[in-house]
Amino acid sequence: MPRVLLIEDDPGVGEGVRPALRRQGHDVATAGTGEEVLGLLRSFRPDVVVLDLMLPGTTGLEVCRRIRADSQVPIIMVTAVGDDVDIVVGLETGADDYVVGPVRARVLEARIRAVLRRLRAGPSPDGGAPAAETYGELRIDRAGLSVTRGDDAVPLAPSELRLLLSLSASPGRVFSRQQLLEAVWERDNHGDVRLVDACVRRLRTKLGEPPRHPRYIQTVRGFGYRFHSPR
């Protein structure tokens, strides 16, 4: 039974969403404040976290940072309608996906199903790429779903790993943001490409990429991104 941790301070929202998720076969735990979250991460061990950014006391963005410091569990954040700043900052902080409030159980369930489907499926289609490959000091193990840089493991959230696997499966090929959005997030043509840009920035940081001259994940202006394999 997939475990969902719902972090929401509004009892009305919790009472509306929690039964719907349970009817879909999820085991649901709830937290009303950021202070409760880290303990539940260890005791409940969720498969997915649904995080409302509008929390009292410790903000949702701070909760997101704390989760990312302790875990790579997928995070779906809930943002206010039209709050583009919160969406961008939340994605930069480490959220994997988002839904716009007020929360509708069917929409949230669809995003949770997509996250769980990606986790169960493992890496995205690799076009016949080797199980493990080395690019300069970067080693990508597709079979083991691990990435190392030199002697150091690179901890990646699921969306970051799938993005890297998708790009590196075809070094030199330019992928549009929309292609990556569909491959990694299963978002259709009306999806939000900010998910892609934010994930690329997080991935570059974790790979130790210089911001102005990234070595591995390069921007092709007006088109999208490509993976560069250094000699």
Full domain range(s) for residue 207: 132-227
Same domain, 18 and 68: yes
Q: Which long-range contacts (CB under 8 A, 24 or more apart) does 191-200 make?
A: 192/87, 194/87, 194/88, 194/91, 195/91, 195/97, 195/98, 195/159, 196/163, 196/225, 198/88, 198/91, 198/92, 199/91, 199/96, 199/159, 199/160, 199/163, 200/163, 200/225
Of 121, 145, 171, the residue at which a domain comes to its end is 121
Distances 20 to 14, 28, 75, 106, 163 between C-alpha atoms, Å:
10, 10, 19, 8, 31
Q: Where residue 61 sits, what CATH number does that domain have? A: 3.40.50.2300
Asked whether residue 127 is assigned to any structural domain, the reply reads: no
Residue ranges of alpha helices (H) inside 94-147 are 105-121
Same domain, 89 and 143: no
| Tokens 């929401």, located at residue | 8
Q: How far apart are CA 98 and CA 182, in angstroms?
A: 15
Of 59, 93, 121, the residue at which a domain comes to its end is 121
pLDDT the model gives residue 115: 86
- H/E segment holding residue 60: helix 60-70
Same domain, 136 and 217: yes
Same domain, 154 and 56: no
Of 71, 88, 121, the residue at which a domain comes to its end is 121
Same domain, 213 and 156: yes
pLDDT the model gives residue 191: 64
pLDDT tens per residue across span 78-105: 887 666 788 888 889 999 999 888 778 8
Same domain, 115 and 149: no
Residue type, 2: P
φ, ψ of residue 5 to 5 degrees: the values are -100, 115
For the chain, residues with pLDDT lower than 50 are 124-125
pLDDT the model gives residue 125: 46
Same domain, 19 and 93: yes
186 backbone φψ class: left, alpha, beta (φ>0; ψ -120 to 50)? left
Same domain, 66 and 21: yes
Q: Count of domains in the chain?
A: 2
Same domain, 153 and 113: no
CB 76 within 8 A of CB 98: yes
